[in-house]
Structure 1
Amino acid sequence: MRRWSNVSLGEVLRHRKEFILLDDTEYYKRCRVQLHAKGVVLRDVVLGSAIKTKRQQVCHAGEFLVAEIDAKMGGFGIVPDALEGAIVSSHYFLFEIDGSKLDRGFLDYFIRTTGFRNQVEAQGSTNYAAIRPASVLGYRMPLPPLAEQQAIVSRLDALADKVRQVNEHLDAIEKKAAALFLSLHYKLSGDRVRRLGDVVELHEEHVPVRADSEYPQVGVRSFGGGLFPKAAVAGTETSYKAFNRLYVDALVLSQVKGWEGALALCPTELAGMYVSPEYRTFRCVPGEAMPAYIGELVRTPWFWSLLQEATRGVGARRERTRPEQFLNIELPMPPENMQRKVVEILARQSSLRLRHTTIRQANDALIPAMLERVFSEAH
């Protein structure tokens, strides 16, 4: 087997800088890069007259697309076939791949490695986030012969397909479990409708920010992803005058992203940590709601739809979800004794859910681990 070379991207890529003038009467696909090397996706389809900057670049499938500003945050990817002909502004750089030397799939996998990201993050001063085309062409990568690249891509693609199948299987099981929960919710509620404010109430533990203290932070993932710990913020590093301290079973709502499922119950291990005033905390009203039941309810897309109806606007322009809007939502709600029966059923499923979480974490770690192995053992 031939040794791998170590080449600069300038040896296998060519910066292509060509612009067109948009026609106001034509529709154009616009694409964008997702952060953290998550790939290139469709942004929207708009009429030329709605685009202020008329000089745009046309993307071709298989090209390497890099965002000038977001590259250090993983804002780059390979243009997929579906986005052939999509346009991007001058704040993106397009690079043609020399297919006689480099397989586009091989590059697609390489740019997801820590070795590549470290090169991008190290480029230039820390006070200037943008990169230039010359920076990209100067990055280096290990490169085996083309046939070996294609064999590696084939193996990685097969593994990625297995990962996708496992995740789809888990999604299907969890979707059925959620459907069962909602079925029970409606059946046990009957004609009983309550305001959310009848079963949960705003309860916040405001802690003044001190310059000599640190405040471990918590974030909320959208789409029922739950809470997660973040780095601590020093009192001297924030303009907030106070943070909200979390407590066990606090229902944490992101005012900005609550409408897309960014709300969750606080587990024991995150109690005592902090969230900014952009997150509001609520507690269950004794005798009206059980935390475990409410925690399950707010994980459902059905509940997120209620939040969407309670706030005005569309997509990113949707207004913040204020506590009064949240508490004014009306919904079917079973009495607490009925909620308890459902919670007992859910408790029997908790071990299965924990197992699914473990499987997902291990499954999602397969590709990154394999990439590090492949490229760190370059020979």
Structure 2
Amino acid sequence: MTLPIRIELGEGGPTPYLPLAEIAPLVRRVVAADPEVTYTELGVRSFNKGIFHRRTVKGAEFTWQELYLVQKSDLVFSNIMAWEGAVALAGADDHGCVGNHRMLTCACDERLINPAFLAHYFKTPEGMNKLVGASSGTVARNRTLTAAALGKMTVPVPPLAVQSRIVRHLELLAEKTQEIETHLDAVERDAQRLIRSYIFASHGERSAKRRLSELVSQRQPDVAVDGTAQYRFAGVYSFGRGVFPSAVKMGSEFAYERLSTVRAGDFIYPKLMAWEGALGVVPAECDGMVVSPEFPVFTVNTEAVLPEVLDIYFRTPDVWPTLAEISGGTNARRRRLQPSAFLSYEMPVPSMAKQLELRAIYQRTQLLKAKHTAIRQANAALLPATLERVFAATEVAHA
């Protein structure tokens, strides 16, 4: 359990809580849209993910709604998603944008409240609970934060010096956590470049190109579907993100009469999305799962190529445009990579000695990524935990 940080106020009294209407009242700067002038409309993402720009269009496109000007340092709430953390501070890039009637903008009185301090408060459990409580409605997706309820919400207002110190501390912490993420990303990119170089660079030898028909063999569906049985499916993410455990379905839920069992080390892809990098080797956690007939399943000839080599090669973005070229279909979203075209494809295959070196490096990079995952999780939790500690008490410190 984390202890709240208690910051003494001058004489040790409690932090005052004031209605939002007194320190950051709702403002409605109505924009009379000129049909020929271009405007950028913004929105607010849920889960404290900030402001985004929806579209930039001429005023004639906004005939169905009123528009309101947003300025830098406004606190912007989505009235239908505020209960889910859709609140954010407008920055310099948002100054001069417009919001529709669902965007509630509050202008902070900076003699009383630091806008960044207030934005941080609404990321805390206490701030989130107030947004939920002020959003009327019984069904989650119909909860609406009204202007009246927004103005009545009370928020902590410690001295400005205390607010500024807290904001500086949180901004410094955010900067450091971002530096850690950037460093981890750079290390992982370097590791990816290294292992891919064993296939795409010579390393003192020339990698011979071989047809995939020499490296893998296709297996036919081996499971007769029973409508009363459950089946655990595997799937493949696009953009080189690999094979993953997918849904559990009853046989009565789908029309396929046969399915294919996949084993760890098999190579699979969905015909429809292979051109977008949806290919990969089946990991141990998916062993024994099934895929539909839309997923060709291949047994890897490990005397010719290691599964890791196939996995690395086909999860490389530079390879996907060539797969798109050999995928039939004129509509981009309906391209299909047929097994015959896949088996005719040629790829560079290093010597087995180089493949074994690659496997060893690949295994070490996987261990590194596992460690990085733990670091990322701790790093991601640091700022929310600090926010909770700073705002947990109803009395805020000042040394």
TM class by smaller structure: 0.7 to 0.9
Cα 1:147/1:127, change in 2 over 3 Å: closer
Asked if the contact 1:207–1:245 (Cα under 8 Å) also holds between the matched residues in 2, the reply is no
Rg bigger for which structure? 2
Q: How far apart in 2 are the matches of 1:6 and 1:170?
A: 41
Residue 146 of structure 1: aligned partner: 160
Residue 3 of structure 2: aligned partner: none
Residue 192 of structure 1: aligned partner: 209
Residue 9 of structure 1: aligned partner: 20
Identify which of 89, 96, 120 aligns with 2:107: 96
Give SS of 2:167's match. helix
Q: How far apart in 2 are the matches of 1:140 and 1:247?
A: 58
Mean Cα displacement is larger for which, 101-110 or 155-164?
Answer: 101-110
Residue 177 of structure 1: aligned partner: 191
Residue 361 of structure 1: aligned partner: 377
Task: Give the drift of 1:308.
Answer: 7.5
- Structure 2 spans left out of the alignment, 5+ residues: 1-7
Using CA pairs under 8 Å that are at least 6 residues apart, name the structure with larger relative contact order, 1 or 2: 2
1:31-50 superposed matches below 5 A: 31-49=42-60
Cα 1:10/1:347, change in 2 over 3 Å: same
Give the TM-score normalised by the residue count of structure 1.
0.74
Q: How far apart in 2 are the matches of 1:241 and 1:66?
A: 45
Residue 22 of structure 1: aligned partner: 33
Q: How far apart in 2 are the matches of 1:30 and 1:325?
A: 46
Residue by residue over 1:130-169, the C-alpha shift from the partner in whole angstroms, topping out at 9 and shown as x without a partner, is 4133343344433322211110010111111111111111
Cα 1:227/1:47, change in 2 over 3 Å: farther
Residue by residue over 1:281-314, the C-alpha shift from the partner in whole angstroms, topping out at 9 and shown as x without a partner, is 56443216544334444554435666787899xx
Identify which of 98, 103, 108 aligns with 2:119: 108
Residue by residue over 1:92-126, the C-alpha shift from the partner in whole angstroms, topping out at 9 and shown as x without a partner, is 22222222222111122222223333443453212
Give the TM-score normalised by the residue count of structure 2.
0.71
In the comparison of the two structures, how many residue pairs are matched? 368
Q: How far apart in 2 are the matches of 1:104 and 1:296?
A: 47
Query: Partner amino acid for 1:5?
Result: P
Q: Are 1:126 and 2:143 matched, yes or no?
A: no
Cα 1:17/1:357, change in 2 over 3 Å: same
Asked if the contact 1:28–1:46 (Cα under 8 Å) also holds between the matched residues in 2, the reply is yes
Cα 1:271/1:80, change in 2 over 3 Å: farther
Q: How far apart in 2 are the matches of 1:326 and 1:39?
A: 47
Asked if the contact 1:190–1:332 (Cα under 8 Å) also holds between the matched residues in 2, the reply is no
Task: Give the drift of 1:10.
Answer: 3.3
Cα 1:252/1:198, change in 2 over 3 Å: closer
Q: How far apart in 2 are the matches of 1:78 and 1:156?
A: 15
Cα 1:260/1:234, change in 2 over 3 Å: closer
Asked if the contact 2:272–2:337 (Cα under 8 Å) also holds between the matched residues in 1, the reply is no
Q: Are 1:286 and 2:300 matched, yes or no?
A: yes
Residue 128 of structure 2: aligned partner: 117
How many percent identity over aligned positions? 26
RMSD: 4.5
1:62-101 superposed matches below 5 A: 62-101=73-112
Q: How far apart in 1 are the matches of 2:375 and 2:75?
A: 33
Q: How far apart in 1 are the matches of 2:298 and 2:181?
A: 33
Task: Give the drift of 1:252.
Answer: 7.7
Mean Cα displacement is larger for which, 66-75 or 103-112?
Answer: 66-75
Identify which of 179, 182, 206 aligns with 1:168: 182
Q: How far apart in 2 are the matches of 1:39 and 1:221?
A: 26
Q: How far apart in 2 are the matches of 1:294 and 1:13?
A: 58
Asked if the contact 2:124–2:384 (Cα under 8 Å) also holds between the matched residues in 1, the reply is yes
Asked if the contact 2:207–2:351 (Cα under 8 Å) also holds between the matched residues in 1, the reply is no
Identify which of 366, 388, 391 aligns with 1:372: 388
Cα 1:199/1:365, change in 2 over 3 Å: farther
Q: How far apart in 2 are the matches of 1:369 and 1:55?
A: 39
Task: Give the drift of 1:330.
Answer: 5.5
Query: Partner amino acid for 2:163?
Result: Q
- Structure 1 spans left out of the alignment, 5+ residues: none
Task: Give the drift of 1:340.
Answer: 4.1
Q: How far apart in 2 are the matches of 1:60 and 1:156?
A: 23
Q: How far apart in 2 are the matches of 1:255 and 1:115?
A: 48
Residue by residue over 1:205-255, the C-alpha shift from the partner in whole angstroms, topping out at 9 and shown as x without a partner, is 797786x98x9899987766667889x8897xx976789998645778789
